[in-house]
């Protein structure tokens, strides 16, 4: 039976990154154009028309692959305005075609999300997704993390593939630039440092 994996999460959580990751395997029908371009607007995502109008789901050529993946952020931008995916209608329409729906919810550090969303959208938008998340929980979603992907890399990808029972081809090139790095700077010291040094026996002698 064919499967559709829905990648979703707040704006800026890593939808493009995970869309590249899950679309790279040759058995997967996904956002393959994104593999050749660094960034493309979500209005050009292959399933975007179906998200806008779930009645189109019945006419989609599901027979062309056993594995499909779609990426949608919440909210997403549609003709320059914020729009919110109708998860319930979309999922119901897909399941009506006897397609197994799986969901991966993407996470990213909440402080970085605040910085990124304010910079690009003018407001913090991830609470919009938090209001929607409980409607996805009955579908037993798997939570995926941008930070864990960069940290554990191929080992993490293999684990995701096993948990989701979904083919993933690991391509290290998509991790060449850590999107979090531009938001981070080192801290010279913290009030807790002396206690940690003392406990670990590494306190510097005066």
Task: Kindly state the average pLDDT of the residues 171-181.
Answer: 89
Distance, in Å, from the CA atom of 95 to the CA atom of 134, rounded to the nearest integer, reads 19
Total domain count for the chain?
A: 1
Residue 63 belongs to some domain of the structure: yes
Residue 192 belongs to some domain of the structure: no
Residue 191 belongs to some domain of the structure: no
Q: If you average pLDDT over every residue of the chain, what do you get?
A: 91
Condensed to tens digits (0 to 9), the pLDDT of residues 101-148 reads: 999 999 999 999 999 999 988 999 999 999 999 999 999 999 999 999
Domain that holds residue 16: 3-177
pTM of the model: 0.89
């Amino acid at each position: 039976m064919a499967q559709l994996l829905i990648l979703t999460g707040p704006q800026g959580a890593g939808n493009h990154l995970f869309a590249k990751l899950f679309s790279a395997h040759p058995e997967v029908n996904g956002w393959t154009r994104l593999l050749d371009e660094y960034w493309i607007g979500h209005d050009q995502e292959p399933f975007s028309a179906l998200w806008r109008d779930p009645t189109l789901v019945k006419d989609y050529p599901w027979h062309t692959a056993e594995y499909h993946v779609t990426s949608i952020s919440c909210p997403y931008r549609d003709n320059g305005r914020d729009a919110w995916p109708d998860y319930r209608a979309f999922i119901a329409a897909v399941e009506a075609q006897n397609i197994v729906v799986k969901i991966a919810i993407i996470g990213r550090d909440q402080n970085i999300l605040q910085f990124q969303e304010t910079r690009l959208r003018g407001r913090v938008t991830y609470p919009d997704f938090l209001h929607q998340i409980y409607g996805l929980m009955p579908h037993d979603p798997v939570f995926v993390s941008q930070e864990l992907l960069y940290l554990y890399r191929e080992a993490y990808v293999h684990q995701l593939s096993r948990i989701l029972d979904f083919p993933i081809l690991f391509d290290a090139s998509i991790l060449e630039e850590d999107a979090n790095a531009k938001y981070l700077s080192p801290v010279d010291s913290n009030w807790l440092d002396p206690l940690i040094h003392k406990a670990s026996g590494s306190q510097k002698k005066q």
